[in-house]
Structure 1
Amino acid sequence: MAGDSNVTYLTLEGHVQLLKYRYVYFSITLALFILIICSNTIVLYLIYDDESLHEPMYIFIAALLSNALFGSIALYPKLLIDLLSETQTIARSACLLQSFFLYLYAGSEFTLLSAMAFDRYVSICRPLQYHSLVRTQIVKLILLLAWFLPACEIGIAIILTSRLQLCRFTLRRIACDNFSLVKSSCGDTRINNLYGLFILTISIFPYFIFIVFSYTKILIISLRNSKDFRRGALHTCLPHLVVFINFMVICVFEVIQNRIPSGIPHFVRSVASILYLVIPPLFNPVIYGFKMREISKRLKALLKLR
């Protein structure tokens, strides 16, 4: 649909029975958003406030939680507004911008999870080289690249999409994504599709292979050592591994259900399209808050549970 001043608007048609369950959806979404903001902020505060936690492992955890806040802010405010609105519309430029931020969150998440795997690999498999390989300058460079590289990759995809002419002005989604925008466009989209496949490949597989390699090496080293060594390695690696598997499964499911036609109900598709910004941001601070010993101790003290 076209709006004032030649601004192109899109209608988000992913909402199911919105008129009937509007306030139920709004209440649940608002509660999720508040929980995500509060839980991530609390763990971030604990890491920031305690200098003993200013180590690479905890800095990467803080970066992961900050990324969750960034992605949540890109999704939930607009979603909450839509749930209370009569029409769920968004300007095309705003839709492209939201797509960029949501994809940036996902791309940075994989990079940060890889950085955490690298930190644990060096710490456990090459402890004598840890302080030379994971020094402050390296950590800062990794954090810079964690957002800069995905921003460049996704920025190109968004620019390519912005050059296409729209044929349809509706998206069967509850939030914008670049893939749906390309499908709604006219003309030759082969370059967009090829570049999208390229980005998808380099944004997932290299990190996946590296993370699997790192934790496999950690497992091999742990099995060769004492029970205490294995217990310590499991204690520091298990939360990271759970977070990675959780995020990977959600992303793979989203990619499959988004690109392969199937009989999946529309409601399931709509919910699945935002799971990567529901489950990880909600459960990651819980996992790190209660499974990482140093953070857990400070969290219990903060909540006066001891």
Structure 2
Amino acid sequence: MMHNVSHVSFFFLSGFNYTLNYRVALFSLTLLCYCFIVLVNVALIVTIILDKNMHEPMYSLVCTFCMNGLYGTTCFYPKILWAMLSPVHVISYSGCLIQALVMYSSASSDLSFLAAMSYDRYVAICRPLDYHSIMSKQRVLLLVCFSWLTPVCISAINIILTSRLKLCSQYIDKLFCVNFNIVKLACFPAETIVNSIVSYILIVICLFLFFFIVWSYMYVVNTCVHSLENRAKFMQTCVPHLTSLLIFSVSVLFDIFNMRFGSNLSPTIQNVIAIEYLVIPPIMNPLIYGFKLTKIRSRILSRITFKITFLRKGLY
């Protein structure tokens, strides 16, 4: 018989119980990882903002894409670093809901931004004469707002619905809060039907965005086959987007697999799979765009060269 613990004020993150023996090493590695994520993302964002030559739709979308990566990771890393130093691994009820909101909205926004970037590349390659009229500043601002606000609003509705549930446990078997894990603690599964409906709506939207991306690049590839110039443009500007899409897709599939079938895996593997989405994409995305997009790469390298030269002159 379940005991009703509907007035939950905090949760125990029991996923930490498996990593206590390696606390110092994991804390150092996690801190290093977070610092590197902040460094590479901020470097790319600042480079795009400060360089007026990159105030173009494609670079603006890349900039907001990396901002969204920081938005998602900032809700995870400071909390997990603090938890690693604490003897009891807890999170407040409200803090857990906020973290779940940020996790869901950040992941959904990533796909929205990838869809916006695929549309930008479709217009640039398939309709180059209309590019500047279609991808105006107002249209780009609209795409950015839609890409971020829509997932946030849908995720917020889901979290509000979750907050009304009566919970029968305070233990989340994970390193961080995810709405799926909170809903599983509900005393009465029948009350979670509305949550499931909203979640399915979000899944349908994400599937639509994914197929829209595929549709866009089918047209882009078809156009590039007949033009050497377009093929060069595709390799230069579309490959980074497709690489980010591949990383995103693999990370999400691993996370879904872990949520649905992770009970058959060891706790350590479950934890590794759970956090890979918060490690690999935030690191790889700015590196991919920084190295592959010529303007960003040349600008960053020129800044590094200038600083090295300045330091050498200072020493001598």
- Which TM-score applies when normalising by structure 2? 0.91
- The aligned amino acid for 2:214 is V
- Deviation digits for residues 116-147 of structure 1, max 9, x if unmatched? 00000000001111112110100011111111
- Structure 1 CA distance for aligned equivalents of residues 261 and 26 of structure 2: 27
- The aligned amino acid for 2:66 is L
**For structure 1, which segment, 122-131 or 261-270, has the greater mean C-alpha deviation from structure 2 after superposition?**
261-270
- Structure 2 CA distance for aligned equivalents of residues 293 and 93 of structure 1: 44
Is the partner of 1:11 in helix, strand or coil? strand
Assess if the C-alpha contact under 8 Å between 1:2 and 1:9 holds in 2. no
Matches within 5 A, 1:253-264: 253-260=254-261, 263-264=264-265
What is the match of residue 176 of structure 1? 177
**For structure 1, which segment, 170-179 or 270-279, has the greater mean C-alpha deviation from structure 2 after superposition?**
270-279
**Residue 150 of structure 1, CA deviation:** 0.8
**Residue 200 of structure 1, CA deviation:** 2.0
What is the match of residue 57 of structure 2? 56
**Residue 216 of structure 1, CA deviation:** 1.2
Within the candidate set 193, 197, 210, 2:196 is matched to 193
What is the match of residue 157 of structure 1? 158
- The aligned amino acid for 1:199 is L
- Structure 1 CA distance for aligned equivalents of residues 154 and 296 of structure 2: 34
What is the match of residue 207 of structure 1? 209
Matches within 5 A, 1:267-282: 267-282=268-283
What is the match of residue 82 of structure 2? 81
**Runs (5+) with no aligned partner, structure 2:** 310-316
Q: Give runs of ≥4 in structure 1 deviating > 6 Å.
A: none
Is the partner of 2:91 in helix, strand or coil? strand
Identity of aligned residues (%): 36
Is the partner of 2:186 in helix, strand or coil? coil
- Structure 2 CA distance for aligned equivalents of residues 232 and 7 of structure 1: 55
- The aligned amino acid for 2:204 is T
- Which TM-score applies when normalising by structure 1? 0.94
Q: CA RMSD in A?
A: 1.9
- Structure 2 CA distance for aligned equivalents of residues 64 and 135 of structure 1: 18
**Residue 213 of structure 1, CA deviation:** 0.8
What is the match of residue 314 of structure 2? none
**Cα gap change, 1:2 to 1:32, in 2 (>3 Å):** farther
- The aligned amino acid for 2:143 is I
**Residue 259 of structure 1, CA deviation:** 2.0
Assess if the C-alpha contact under 8 Å between 1:107 and 1:150 holds in 2. yes
Is the partner of 1:10 in helix, strand or coil? strand
**Residue 58 of structure 1, CA deviation:** 0.2
Kindly indicate whether residue 142 of structure 2 is the aligned counterpart of residue 141 of structure 1.
yes
**Residue 162 of structure 1, CA deviation:** 0.4
- Deviation digits for residues 164-211 of structure 1, max 9, x if unmatched? 011111001000000000001111222222322232222x21111011
What is the match of residue 167 of structure 2? 166
**Cα gap change, 1:102 to 1:148, in 2 (>3 Å):** same
Matches within 5 A, 1:20-99: 20-99=21-100
Matches within 5 A, 1:276-291: 276-291=277-292
Is the partner of 2:12 in helix, strand or coil? strand
Is the partner of 1:14 in helix, strand or coil? helix
What is the match of residue 124 of structure 1? 125
Kindly indicate whether residue 11 of structure 2 is the aligned counterpart of residue 10 of structure 1.
yes
Kindly indicate whether residue 197 of structure 2 is the aligned counterpart of residue 219 of structure 1.
no
User: What is the aligned residue count?
Assistant: 302
- The aligned amino acid for 1:106 is A
- The aligned amino acid for 1:259 is R
Assess if the C-alpha contact under 8 Å between 1:246 and 1:280 holds in 2. yes
- Deviation digits for residues 23-62 of structure 1, max 9, x if unmatched? 1110011001100011101111110111000000000000
**Residue 7 of structure 1, CA deviation:** 6.0
Assess if the C-alpha contact under 8 Å between 1:165 and 1:185 holds in 2. yes
**Residue 2 of structure 1, CA deviation:** 12
**For structure 1, which segment, 250-259 or 262-271, has the greater mean C-alpha deviation from structure 2 after superposition?**
262-271
- Structure 2 CA distance for aligned equivalents of residues 270 and 261 of structure 1: 10
What is the match of residue 240 of structure 2? 239
- Structure 1 CA distance for aligned equivalents of residues 235 and 201 of structure 2: 35
